[in-house]
């Protein structure tokens, strides 16, 4: 097996035979996306508050 330092390739190799681990990675990805959306929304609200004052 060829060595790599690409994190995504390493994760894909680790989970390719484990459906439970694949589901955990999918859930984590969704959670990260939702967290980013919430962060961006809060940041926009904070910017709006600063501009109003």
Mean pLDDT across the chain? 88
Give percent of the chain with pLDDT exceeding 90: 57
What is the rounded average pLDDT of the residues 15-22? 93
Burial 22-49 (b: 16+ CB within 10 A, else e): eeeeeeeeeeeeeeeeeeeeeeeeeeee
DSSP alpha helices (H): ranges in the chain? 7-15, 19-52
**Mean pLDDT calculated for residue range 26-46:** 94
* Residue 29 pLDDT: 94
């Amino acid at each position: 097996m060829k060595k790599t330092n690409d994190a995504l390739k390493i994760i894909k190799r680790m989970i390719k035979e484990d459906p439970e681990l694949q589901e955990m990675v999918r859930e984590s990805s969704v959670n990260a996306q939702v967290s980013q959306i919430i962060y961006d929304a809060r940041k926009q609200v904070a910017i709006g508050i600063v501009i109003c004052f």
